[in-house]
Amino acid sequence: MKQYLKIDEWKVIEDQFHPAYNEITESIFSLGNGRMGQRGSFEETYTGKTLQGNYVAGVYYPDKTRVGWWKNGYPEYFAKVLNAANWNGLSIQIGGVEIDLHTSEIHTFYRELNMKEGYILRNCEITLSNGKRLAIESIRLNSMADDESGVISYSITPLNFTEDIQVKAFIDGDIKNKDSNYDEKFWDEVKVGSNFVWSKTKKTGFEVITAQQIEIKANGQKVDAKATSTTREKYSELAYTLSAKQGEKLTLIKYAVNISSENHPTASFEKIASDYLARISTKGFDKMLQEQATAWATKWAINDIIISGDASAQQGIRFNIFQMNQTYTGEDDRLNIGPKGFTGEKYGGSTYWDTEAYCIPFYLGTAPAKVSKNLLIYRWKQLDRAIENAGKLGFNKGAALYPMVTMNGEECHNEWEITFEEIHRNGAIAYAIMDYVNYTDDRKHLVEYGWEVLVGIARFWAQRVNWSEDKQKYVMLGVTGPNEYENNVNNNWYTNYIATWCLKYTLEVYAEIQQNYPAEAAAKITSTAFAKEEVAQFQHIIENMYFPRDEKQGIYLQQDGFLDKVIAPVDTITAERPINQKWSWDRILRSCYIKQADVLQGIYFFEDDFSLEELERNYNFYEPITVHESSLSPCVHSILAAKLGKEDKSYEFYTRAARLDLDDYNNDTEDGCHITSMAGTWMSIIKGFGGMRLKDHTLHFNPFLPKQWNEFSFKINFRANQLNIAVKKSGVEITNLAGPELTVFVHGEARKLTKA
Ligand code: BGC
């Protein structure tokens, strides 16, 4: 745990340079606008610890997999979101010495991530090795209004000299992914010009042109500076000699664009890039900054959660909400949410079950329905690939197994215990359809998109189970549940439960679409070749599925034989944590320690199927043996603890989740931030402290106020309404901000909210 960043309700502040933590700060200070993003590295040369990372959404590379022993059915590649051309680049020399904070004496240093208005800012005063003392000020943003562009304003004020400064503003396309498996570079040059680098990915053939335009000002007045252009392979530079006077501020404004072949024809790439640059540079830096603030104000108007009396919690939740909005805006149904977003390279930047299980509820509550719908359509579009994927593993007749990790619908994870066994991900995809339809009431979605996905998933489960003569039940063998610290187990309770639920839900949807949309339903049932016998087959499995259980303790067993393990609470091994870094894999597998919610994930998803006593018994059994070594774990526990009235525990899990990256809780933030679990942090407040649930088209709230807070409030989009829920010491106030009259329940009592 590191607490070197300062607490502020709207900003993340580093008020003194911490070079040893620079890569952590770069992850935390990442910027993005859904279309492109980058780590918060310095613009000028920095020879200390750094990872320059620039990413263009949807642009990936199928890196060759690296496995010890090849197994049949392994995917050929591991898809990686590509580190792309660096458009920040500045190299600045004074008297032949390069500005580089690693080799300079630093007198003052301050940088902030301004979450309210969406930019990063840095001020520092340094002395170079030749004694030149200067002040640097920079502001950078990735524009929300013009989402293929970014801008930097970079100023230098000489403090003890008057002389020429050599400035090179460059674009560097000679970039390698840090996580490249064989140290390969994934980009080829197409062309370079005086202000652009145009590259193409090997194999996948994505093309991106990255271009810059420079403006120079002295004391705020535009200067007509002559640029010398130099190009070499994958590199383009504009060099200036600027006469700097002591005390006079020189400012370089760098406008940059990233135009991708995903969105534009390559035939007009150069023109599109130069027109885009002309348009944003005509707007100018100040206008772009102002538009950025406006775009963020619109987002905050519905996204913000206000906590009074706890600045650290306030900063934590805003950081999570900020990153979620930077990563995915819902504009494009080809895009999804990588576990690290635009903040790093780990996990390949691809789509996991995290999207459906964790992120969709966030976007349902904070954004128009279209945003979540686009995430569902992303999977619908990849259905053929999921069917192919199941086919590779020996399933047939339209059975679909969605990948654990994907960029384009193909599986690209290559550890057998995850690729072949962590099949519960299929269930989350079906669950998200139900979640979306129930929340938005867009029931037509079921016939338009939902049915096809559901029937593919249901068929997979129907083929994946087998009848056990011994048990006289259906069983599911050789799986990995959400708890990845167990592999190849039989009858993982969570997987059996969600599989059975998928079959039930598919049959419900089968009936509903025929009733509500008979003509469309008939066409879809025919096109999916769904046969009556499948109804009977699904029904038989639903009625005869096996669920491991311990009658004595009244708990569900994570899998067959779980109680053969030595069960000892996590606090007996405190010094040995995290176990994934301190223990052998063999020891982890044999131990009782659980990486993340597993049985409890199931009870959380399907809470109405279980009594409070059942929840309590299972929580009391599993929570003490859970190590939470996945960032997806604390939020589920926070919500369940809240439901059980364990308010302190709920709060403890919340703070851990909310400040996971800001405090580098798991010692891994330098690899990037835990973006998908940030949605879980939001859920801890809304579903945990706010106790919000949707039951039969009606919102229910069972809030409590953590004792560390004076009050908190959040807003929610629900169908045609927008509500503000304020939880105060004096009680719960709910205001209808937009939309028709609505009845909600607070602690079981109906409240009629008048029309807004
Ligand atoms: C978790 C998975 C998750 C993945 C990506 C892993 O550590 O165990 O459940 O999908 O991270 O966030």
Copy the structure tokens of residue 576.
């040995």
The answer to whether the CB of 482 is under 6 A from ligand 1 is yes
Query: What spacing in Å lies between the alpha carbon of 333 and ligand 1's midpoint?
Result: 23
**Burial (0-12, 13-18, 19+ Cβ within 10 Å), 648:** exposed
User: Of residues 484, 486, 623, 629, which has the active-site annotation?
Assistant: 484
Question: Does the beta carbon of 269 sit less than 6 angstroms from any atom of ligand 1?
Answer: no
333 is in an annotated binding site: no
**Can you give the pLDDT at residue 676?**
92
Taking the centre of ligand 1 as the mean of its atom positions, its distance from the CA of residue 503, in whole angstroms, is 25
The residue type at 114: N
The predicted pLDDT at position 430 comes to 98
Mutate to test the pocket of ligand 1, among 327, 350, 352 (most ligand atoms within 8 A of CB): 352
Mean pLDDT of the chain: 96
Would you state the pLDDT for residue 409? Answer: 94
Atom of ligand 1 nearest to the CA of 630: 7
Helix axes 285-303, 311-327, angle to 10 degrees: 110
- Which ligand 1 atom is at minimum distance from the Cα of 404? 10
- Confidence (pLDDT) at 179: 81
Whether residue 131 lies inside any domain: the answer is yes
632 lines ligand 1 (CB under 6 A): yes
Look at ligand 1, atom 6, and give the residue with the nearest C-alpha.
630
**How many domains does one find in the chain?**
2
**Angle separating helix axes 647-658 and 675-683, nearest 10 degrees:** 150
Q: Which CATH number fits the domain that encloses residue 269?
A: 2.70.98.40
Atom number in ligand 1 closest to CA 482: 9
Classify 580 as helix, strand or coil.
Answer: helix
In the DSSP assignment, the letter for residue 479 is B
CA distance 754 to 138: 48
Could you give the CA distance from residue 455 to residue 356 in angstroms, rounded to a whole number? 17
Atom of ligand 1 nearest to the CA of 629: 7
CB of 354 shorter than 6 A to ligand 1: yes
Q: Is 351 in the pocket of ligand 1 (CB under 6 A)?
A: no
Collapse the DSSP code of 707 into the 3-class scheme (helix H, G, I; strand E, B; otherwise coil) and give the result: coil
- Whether 209 maps to a domain, the answer reads yes
Q: Characterise 116 by phi-psi region: left (phi > 0), alpha (psi -120 to 50), beta (else).
A: alpha
Query: 72 C-alpha vs ligand 1 centroid, how far in Å?
Result: 24
Distance 630 CA to ligand 1 centre (A): 6
Task: Give catalytic status of residue 484 as yes or no.
Answer: yes
**339 CA distance to ligand 1 middle (Å):** 8
Dihedral, 659, 662, 668, 672 alpha carbons, nearest 10: 110
CA distances from 687 to 86, 256, 305, 365 (A): 40, 41, 13, 11
Task: Please work out whether the CB of residue 339 comes within 6 Å of at least one atom of ligand 1.
Answer: yes
Residue 665: per-residue pLDDT: 87
Tokens matching residue 223: 């200067």
User: Which atom of ligand 1 is least distant from the CA of 353?
Assistant: 10
Asked if residue 566 belongs to a domain, the reply is: no
Q: How far is the CA of 269 from the centre of ligand 1 (A)?
A: 38
Q: How does 433-455 read in b/e, with b if 16+ C-beta sit within 10 Å?
A: bbbbbebbebbebbbbbbbbbbb
State the pLDDT at residue 537.
98
Atom 11 of ligand 1: nearest residue by CA position = 630
Average pLDDT by stretches of 10, the chain with 756 residues: 94 98 98 98 98 95 83 84 96 98 98 98 98 98 98 98 98 91 92 98 96 96 95 98 96 98 98 98 98 98 96 96 96 92 85 97 97 97 97 96 94 89 98 98 98 98 98 98 98 99 98 98 98 97 98 98 97 92 96 98 98 98 96 96 98 93 92 95 97 98 97 98 98 98 98 96
- Residue 371 included in any domain: no
Name the region of 122 (left: φ>0; alpha: ψ -120 to 50; beta: rest).
Answer: beta
Q: How far is the CA of 200 from the centre of ligand 1 (A)?
A: 30
Give the distance from CA 358 to its chain's centroid.
9
Distance 408 CA to ligand 1 centre (A): 19
Domain residue limits at 750: 690-756
Look at residues 301, 331, 360 and tell me which one is the last residue of a structural domain.
Answer: 301
Query: What is the C-alpha separation between 169 and 745, in angstroms, rounded?
Result: 59
Place of tokens 């200070």: 29
Q: For ligand 1, is residue 358 a contact (CB within 6 Å)? A: no
State the number of CA atoms in the 13 A half-sphere of 728 facing the CB.
8
What's the Cα-to-Cα distance from 527 to each of 399, 520, 531, rounded to whole Å?
A: 14, 11, 11
**280, HSE (Cβ side, Cα atoms, 13 Å):** 34
State the closest ligand 1 atom to the C-alpha of 339, by its place in the atom list counted from 1.
12
Residue nearest to atom 7 of ligand 1 (CA): 630
Residue 596, annotated as binding a ligand:
yes
- Is the Cβ atom of 701 under 6 angstroms away from ligand 1? no
Which of 484, 588, 671, 674 to probe ligand 1 with, by most ligand atoms within 8 A of CB?
A: 484
Q: How many whole angstroms from 129 Cα to the centroid of ligand 1?
A: 46
Q: Please say which residue of 301, 327, 343 terminates a domain.
A: 301
- Is the residue at 552 inside a domain? no
Tell me, what's the pLDDT at 585? 95
> Which ligand 1 atom is at minimum distance from the Cα of 483?
8
Bridge partner list, 545: 474
629 is a domain residue = no
Which of 247, 266, 301 is the last residue in one of the domains?
301
- Closest CA relative to residue 659, chosen from 202, 3, 27: 3
Instruction: Give the residue whose CA is nearest to atom 5 of ligand 1.
Output: 339
Q: Encode pLDDT of 131-141 as tens digits.
A: 999 999 999 99
CB-ligand 1 contact for 258 (6 Å cutoff): no
Evaluate whether 24 touches 670 at the Cβ level (below 8 Å).
Answer: yes
Residue length of the chain: 756
Q: Residue type at 730?
A: S
Q: What is the DSSP string of 103-147?
A: TSEEEEEEEEEETTTTEEEEEEEEE-TTS-EEEEEEEEEE-SSST
Q: Is residue 535 part of a domain?
A: no
Give the CATH number, domain containing residue 740: 2.60.420.10
Q: Tell me, using a 6 A CB cutoff, whether residue 679 lines ligand 1.
A: no
Tell me if the bond preceding 482 is cis, omega within 30° of 0.
no
The number of angstroms, rounded, from the C-alpha of 626 to the middle of its chain's C-alpha atoms is 23
Q: Is 188 annotated as a binding residue?
A: no
Instruction: Tell me if 207 is assigned to some domain.
Output: yes
Report the predicted TM-score, pTM, of the whole model to 2 decimal places.
0.96
Residue environment code for 623-646, b if the CB has 16+ CB neighbours within 10 A, otherwise e: bebbbbbbbbbbbbbbbbbbbbeb
Q: What is the DSSP string of 189-232?
A: EEEEETTEEEEEETTT--EEEEEEEEEEEETTEEE----EEEEE
Contact call for residues 46 and 383 (beta carbons, < 8 A):
no
Q: In this structure, are residues 383 and 433 in contact, taking their beta carbons and an 8 Å threshold?
A: no
pLDDT digits (tens, 9 = 90+) for 212-271: 999 999 999 999 999 999 999 999 999 999 999 999 999 999 999 999 999 999 999 999
171: three-class secondary structure by DSSP: strand
Is 353 marked as binding a ligand? yes
87 Cβ below 6 A of ligand 1: no
Q: Is the CB of 494 under 6 A from ligand 1?
A: no
